[in-house]
Amino acid sequence: MGKSKQEKFILWFGEVRIEDVPFVGGKNAALGEMYQELVPLGIHVPNGFAITSYAYRYFLEKAGLAKQIKEALRGLNTRDMKDLQGRGKAVRQIILKAELPAELQKEITQAYEKLGKRLGVAVRSSATAEDLPGASFAGQQETYLNVVGGKAVLQAVKKAMASLFTDRAISYRVDKGFSHFDVALSVGVQEMVRSDKASSGVMFTIDTETGFDKVVIINSSYGLGEMVVQGKVTPDEFVVFKPVLEQANKGILEKDLGAKKQKMIYAEKGIKKVQVPERARKKFSLTDEEVLQLARWGVAIEKHFSAKHSRQEPMDIEWAKDGLSKKLYIVQARPETVHATAEKNVYKEYRLKEKKVPLVIGMAVGTKIATGKARLIEHAKNIGNFQKGEILVTEITDPDWEPIMKIASAIVTDKGGRTSHAAIVSRELGIPAIVGTGGSTKKLRTGKTITVDCSSGDEGMVYAGAAKFKIIEHKLDKVPETKTHVMVNIGAPDEAFKNAYLPVQGVGLGRLEFIINSYIKIHPNALINYKKLNGKVKKQIDALVGGYADKTQFYVDKLAEGIAKIGAAFWPHEVIIRFSDFKTNEYRQLIGGELYEPVEQNPMLGWRGASRYYDKRFRDAFGLECEALEKVREEMGLENITPMVPFCRTPEEGKKVLALMEEHGLSRKQDESLRVYVMCEIPSNVIRADEFLEIFDGMSIGSNDLTQLALGLDRDSGIGRTIANENELTVKHMVEMVIAKCREKGKYVGICGQAPSDYPEFTKFLIERGIESISLNPDAVMPTIMQIAKLEKEN
């Protein structure tokens, strides 16, 4: 009769299931589960075997190590860095100096020879208590890549076992209340994928910053994956939308080109770092097809593990592409532990109360704000200087830094991306981090008070001094349902995933201006006429547009990515995207803007909105906006996007714009699901509402401009401020007329101006007149829903 699993030294992936965590640890159990269940579905997982926790304990017992280790750790103070470092080293030496039992050596060597079809193997630790909700042991132990030959494998196995007692692992177990002897180590030995000749990286089946669960985030760089996992390279990043993945070639919302300056490749024995050629850096390290295949695999893996655990289980996955076979492989998968344990019913919103000029800018990790004294540390050997509550400023972190990271109030690094070590650990600790700043170690000084602000989307800012901020708590289970649709106004796409939690029924106003200003920064005509340009403007464009041969495609792609993020965040609800409504003075601020924009005395009343779109000086640029919207609806599969035309002075103008939209692929004849709205913000929109509603599918009231034009005011001027109020009777009469006309014709009518956010009595008026939807700024959504519910009850 054969041995049971708990008495075996070696278990092959084909023998292991997720229930076997006590025998093979979290990583190996997940690999075995995928190898058995998901390989038959077409997901590639390299074969391998696990050296069991029984083998680890057998080694400790046979070599008499447990007593020595206990003695070495007696009286340990994990807050004393020198004490921790000295004792950790002593324990590792005890294990490394001991000989593996001969019978264990024999079985490991035989299993390696049976597996050894490749140049080398990956030897990875797999702790029996890792990847539990609330206790992610990711990165606590070591990984050894391209290990070649039986002797080298035995040495790597012993090193992996010793790494159960790295300083950070000892400290982490003490903090989490685990005994050092309750946790055992299994070691995985897996075929190496030749990603040194291709690319590799990580994938999350959730947005790691906001917990938005309808996307897959893929990071990719050239060479072996450790560079991405350790955050030592800025990778390419892809955002893929889950709900449309089953449709052919649809789902990629965003692609960001990373610097990818270095890669890790095989050396004769082991690995080495080399520079990536300039040409390769300017290309994406994955094709669109490969991105979609990985995303589909990620969704399948999440679905499988969610079914196993009877709850949604977002996954943190490592993948690699083999440069010889050109095949993709999944090499690790574990539960994403940060959002799994987050309180789902309460949303805390951090909001800065004052505007400041940032000292440094980087990628935001999380959505919080923190203040504290900066502590600049260049090397891990100096972490003993760090004081609790300080803000850690350094070039990059790795697991050796964890003992001080957990007592930091925030972290700022020069290097790394959203999946770097600093980012992963700060998420787990629930502290804000800003990574990839490029120069924080040169600009920030030890002892100076700073504020780390991650509350404003993808970009994180570091400010001098203690900036004032507030925390707003939202209880999501106490939100009543309303007959009036409550929607949200979204400016920057970075805010979309963060605000997706809001109990709204879509987006009443998404502004293209934010995308153009923040992501593109270039006047569209300068891109259209790029070949005719020279000098400073051309250099500025080259610096931003990078690898795009077709400069106008850059404009279309970046617009589409911004629109798509907003559309995905609030899917399947309607998302109304307004075509660009810059005035001439605002367009002049863009790179190349002065070449194409006239100087107007009153731009607010000048060349803006519809009159701009069909003008021969701008019609090609408007065509690019249409192409971006069409790309989002058709290529990305987000049919919940509805375009809206602003500042349309006459129905005749409206017809010209609709004809141009049709020319550029936005045709209601070809696409029955497409609707087109017009802004109601000029008295002519009210007076000729019947005619406008003959050609458009609805109206969205822009109360700011309507107030300005109805009362003959300039809202950019402080004069007349006392009467510039939507509660003025003229404005209310106009709003009332538009609502009545739209309802009479069965057309959409909403409001997206500031008035309902500012004036509760105006909201009451809108409800009484039967408005279909009210769109608000994010901070006004929760209180206004409560008010609407009360008003509806009263009526």
Q: Do domains 8-189 and 193-333 have the same CATH topology?
A: no
**pLDDT digit string, tens, across residues 550-569:** 999 999 999 999 999 999 99
Which structure tokens are listed for 587? 């367009």
Q: Which pLDDT belongs to residue 303? A: 96
Q: Which pLDDT belongs to residue 2? A: 61
Candidate CATH numbers 2.70.50.60, 3.50.30.10, 3.30.750.24, 3.40.50.970; the one for domain 356-473: 3.50.30.10
Which structure tokens are listed for 364? 């935001």
* Nearest-angstrom CA–CA distance, 570 and 556: 22
**pLDDT digit string, tens, across residues 437-465:** 988 999 999 999 999 999 877 789 999 99
Ordered by start, the domain boundaries in the chain are: 8-189, 193-333, 356-473, 483-792
What residues pair up with 215 in beta bridges, in sequence order?
241
Q: Which fold does the domain 8-189 belong to in CATH?
A: Dna Ligase; domain 1 (3.30.1490)
The answer for residues whose C-beta is within 8 angstroms of residue 616's C-beta and 6 or more apart is none
pTM of the model: 0.82
Residue 374, pLDDT > 80, answer: yes
What residues pair up with 651 in beta bridges, in sequence order?
none
Per the model's pLDDT, the better-predicted residue between 791 and 374 turns out to be 374
**pLDDT digit string, tens, across residues 528-546:** 999 999 889 999 999 898 7
Contact at 8 Å (CB) between 5 and 47?
no
Residue 265, pLDDT > 90, answer: yes
3 state DSSP class of 406: coil
Q: Residue 492 carries which DSSP code? A: S
Residue 399, pLDDT > 70, answer: no
3 state DSSP class of 156: helix
* Nearest-angstrom CA–CA distance, 769 and 763: 10
Residue 713, pLDDT > 60, answer: yes
What single letter denotes the amino acid at residue 562?
A: G
* Nearest-angstrom CA–CA distance, 176 and 135: 7
Neighbour count for residue 783 (Cβ, 10 Å): 12
Q: Which pLDDT belongs to residue 260? A: 92
What single letter denotes the amino acid at residue 574?
A: E
Residue 230, pLDDT > 60, answer: yes
In this structure, of 143-152, 198-207, 293-302, 426-435, the range with the lowest mean pLDDT score is 426-435
Q: Which pLDDT belongs to residue 309? A: 85
* Nearest-angstrom CA–CA distance, 575 and 641: 5
Runs of H (alpha helix) within 189-287:
226-229, 278-281
Average pLDDT taken over every residue of the chain: 89
Q: Determine the average pLDDT of the residues in 277-288.
A: 93
Q: Which residues are marked as active site?
A: 421, 752
CA-based nearest residue to 231, from 451, 439, 416 = 416
CATH number for the domain formed by residue range(s) 193-333: 3.30.470.20
* Nearest-angstrom CA–CA distance, 666 and 458: 30
CATH number for the domain formed by residue range(s) 483-792: 3.20.20.60
CA-based nearest residue to 32, from 304, 327, 216 = 304
